[in-house]
Amino acid sequence: MGTSWRAAFPLERRELDGETVAYCDATGDTLKLAPIARAVLDVLSRAPADLQALSAAAAEALAADEEAIEPAVADTVEDLESLGIVERVSL
Amino acid sequence: MPTRAEFASWLAGAGAFIRTGPFIIHARTPIAHAIEGITTLYDGYPVTPAEPFADFHVALAASGGLRRFVRRQVDFEFDGEKPYRPLPLDQALPMFEWGLNAVIGGTAHQFLIVHAAVVARDGFAAILPAQSGSGKSTLCAALVNRGWRLLSDELTLFSVETGAIHPLARPMNLKNESIEVIRNFVPGAVLSRPTHDTVKGTVALLKAPAESVARAQETARPAWIVSPLWQRGALCELTPKSRADTMIELGQNAFNYSVHGRRGFHLLADAVERCACFDLRYSVLDEAVTAFAALEIPAAARAA
């Protein structure tokens, strides 16, 4: 069974000239979300997803090739996990 | 208004109540050079010997620690506590200002407070967030002596209710070379005697312009956020900055962001959305002042 992730908590978000900033209630931090992070969090805020589903969603959102974008999505998920914004789940 | 002698006698006795911006500060000290500095810098402010209420009760007192036998020291007292380490006695005046900044930043949670200078023109505010050493206070001192109104050189007070910025026109903190730069830029400037060997180097406090003190109840609407950086020899350059990056910078410079949580986040985002945002690099004050004079009021700020 593959690994899936979910959003650890909802983030307050604002779009500023096409860029996204988010407020993390748990830490009090404000983050600027890269487009890939935004795409990943869009998915995970609705339901848990695995790397394949996240890559597919990011590829669609960014008009990129799914296979090519997968390493960047994996890095992003790792970053978000280290920040405590997403967490692993067992499905 | 009291005479300077009355003001001094109140400070040395039961305390003077100084109204500055939205706050009343109850201050007292027996230290002669601190009294001289405070009465010089706050001459012209509404000051009384008694008030039914004060926001902050502060005092400067000679320290009673063992170090007093080696070098005399001063304590900053806030509500009867000593929240900071004592400093050498000759630093009493800067300690008064630094201590006030810290207690306001740490306790006045009716405002969202950002560590930034802020000046206003025609009711619209320019916010100058910057790290220490960036030339923020020097630029602020120059601007308020060239047509801008001083709201604060250190603390930007956003009303949590309306997002408007409340003035807190207090003395401006100049460091090292900036002291001479401003002496030359502002003939007749009222400055405290320089204090040497502080953690910030040599510091002197510049008295706020009388008009800014008189208009201490007039709020301003955020219109520009300009992050200044003084660089020796740099050509003056005002570069548009992303609103998202500006938002992150403001959040990092906020004293009490976490106290306000999501509300603070949206309040800052609302302000950033309405403002024109820039980085400013400069080396010559006159050029920076000219760049500020050319700032146009953003339509979103007017509409707010």
pLDDT digits (tens, 9 = 90+) for B43-96: 999 999 999 999 999 999 998 766 666 679 999 999 989 999 999 999 999 999
Tokens representing B58 are 């502060």
Contact between B261 and A25 using a beta-carbon 8 Å cutoff = yes
Q: Which residues of A touch B262 (CB under 8 A)?
A: 12, 23, 25
Q: How many contacts (CB atoms, under 8 Å) link A and B?
A: 46
Nearest by CB to B269, which of A14, A29, A31?
A14
Amino acid type, B160: V
| Nearest C-alpha neighbor of B227 from the set B207, B252, B204 | B252
Contact B262 A25 (CB under 8 A): yes
- The pair of three-digit structure tokens given for residue B45, joined into one six-digit string: 């402010």
Q: What is the pLDDT of residue B130?
A: 85
Along the 304 residues of chain B, how does pLDDT read in single tens digits?
899 999 999 999 999 999 999 999 999 999 999 999 999 999 999 999 999 999 999 999 998 766 666 679 999 999 989 999 999 999 999 999 999 999 999 999 999 999 999 999 999 999 999 888 888 999 999 999 999 999 999 999 999 999 999 999 999 999 999 999 999 999 999 999 999 999 999 999 999 999 999 999 999 999 999 999 999 999 999 999 999 999 999 999 999 988 999 999 999 999 999 999 999 999 999 999 999 999 999 999 999 8
The pLDDT of residue A26 is 80
**Measured between CB atoms, which of A19, A23, A29 is closest to B244?**
A19
A26-34 contacts at long range (C-beta below 8 A, 24 or more positions apart): A26/A84, A27/A83, A27/A84, A28/B257, A28/B258, A28/B261, A29/A83, A29/B251, A30/B247, A30/B248, A30/B251, A30/B252, A30/B257, A30/B265, A31/A83, A31/A85, A31/B248, A32/B244, A32/B245, A32/B247, A32/B248, A34/A76
What integer best gives the mean pLDDT of chain B? 95
Residue B125 near residue B164, CB atoms below 8 Å: no
pLDDT of residue B4: 96
Rounded Cα gap, residues B261 and B255, in angstroms: 12
Q: A20 touching B, CB under 8 A?
A: yes
Mean pLDDT by runs of 10 across the 91 residues of chain A is 88 95 87 95 95 96 95 96 91 64
How many Å apart are CA A23 and CA A11, to the nearest integer?
6
Measure the CA–CA gap between B38 and B59, rounded to whole angstroms: 12
Cβ of B247 within 8 Å of Cβ of A30? The answer is yes
Residue A61 is predicted with a pLDDT of: 95
Radius of gyration of chain B (CA): 19
Which residue on chain B is closest to A27 by alpha carbon? B258
Residues B87, B89, B94, B100: is their CA dihedral positive or negative? Answer: positive
Q: Could you tell me the CA-to-CA distances from B102 to B31, B96, B113, B114 in Å, in that order?
A: 21, 10, 11, 12
B261 contact residues in A (CB cutoff 8 A): 23, 25, 28
Non-local (6+) Cβ contacts of B214 within 8 A are: none
* CB count in 10 Å sphere of residue B231: 12
Nearest chain B alpha carbon to A18: B244
What pLDDT is stored for residue B140 in this prediction? Answer: 98
**Contact between B265 and A23 using a beta-carbon 8 Å cutoff:** yes
Q: Which residues of B touch A14 (CB under 8 A)?
A: 247, 265-266, 269, 273
Residues of A in contact with B244 (CB under 8 A): 16-17, 19-21, 32
Give B263's contacts (C-beta < 8 A, 6+ positions apart): B160
Give the closest of B252, B257, B269 to A21, CB-based.
B269
What ipTM was reported for this prediction? 0.87
Across the interface, do B245 and A32 touch by the CB < 8 Å criterion?
yes
Residue-by-residue DSSP string for B126-180: EEEE--TTSSHHHHHHHHTTTTPEEEESSEEEEETTT-PEEP----EEEETHHHH
- Note the pTM of the prediction, 2 decimals: 0.93
